[in-house]
């Protein structure tokens, strides 16, 4: 059972719909290996508001995401392939060529209230 829990956590940790499909396959395979018949019913999401469907307009399947400091030293501080919880669904994409901005580290509530963060990337 713990092996199954680890497998589910490994799949769902990516927090994206394509990986949720992997988890569904993992679970149905486990049920069927135990002799239990299982069925999966796909539910369509999206569409126009008011259709009665669950609408997530900003949903996306994240393939990759990185954040690099380029000056005064070069260092990658975020890599989705290493830690998928650094980027979640509904995160906005950046231009293909990326973007450059000053980085501000905020580690308190008081720091968030500052107006000095305009046009900066804020790391909390």
According to the model, what pLDDT value does residue 29 have? 92
In a domain, 25, yes or no: yes
Residue 68, in any domain of the structure = no
* Number of structural domains found in the chain: 2
Nearest of 92, 97, 82, 88 to residue 121 by alpha carbon: 92
Q: Residue 28 has what pLDDT?
A: 92
Mean pLDDT calculated for residue range 33-44:
86
Question: Is residue 47 over pLDDT 70?
Answer: no
Please state the pTM of the whole predicted model: 0.52
pLDDT at 8 over 90: no
Per-residue pLDDT at 32 = 92
pLDDT in tens, 56-109: 666 666 778 888 888 888 999 889 888 887 776 667 778 888 888 888 888 888
- Model pLDDT, residue 76: 92
Instruction: Report how far residue 111's alpha carbon sits from residue 96's, in angstroms, rounded to the nearest whole number.
Output: 30
In a domain, 116, yes or no: yes
Q: What is the model's pLDDT at position 120?
A: 86
Domain extent at residue 110: 95-124
State the Cα–Cα distance between residues 65 and 80, nearest whole angstrom.
Answer: 5
Going by pLDDT thresholds of 50, 70 and 90, the confidence category of residue 114 is: confident
pLDDT of residue 75: 92
Would 110 be classed as within a structural domain?
A: yes
Q: Is 78 inside a domain boundary?
A: no
Closest C-alpha to 102, from 124, 121, 83: 121
Task: Quote the distance between the C-alpha of residue 9 and its chain's center.
Answer: 14
Establish if 54 belongs to a structural domain: no
């Amino acid at each position: 059972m713990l092996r199954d829990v680890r497998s589910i956590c490994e799949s769902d940790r990516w927090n994206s719909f394509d990986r949720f499909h992997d988890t569904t396959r993992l679970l149905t395979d486990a049920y069927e290996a135990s002799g239990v018949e299982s069925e999966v019913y796909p539910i369509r999401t999206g569409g126009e508001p008011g259709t009665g469907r669950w609408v997530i307009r900003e949903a996306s399947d994240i393939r990759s995401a990185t954040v690099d400091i380029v000056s005064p030293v070069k260092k990658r501080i975020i890599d989705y392939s290493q830690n998928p919880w650094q980027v979640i669904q509904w995160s906005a994409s950046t231009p293909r060529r990326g973007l450059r901005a000053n980085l501000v580290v905020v580690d308190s509530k008081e720091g968030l209230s500052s107006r000095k963060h305009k046009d900066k990337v804020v790391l909390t």
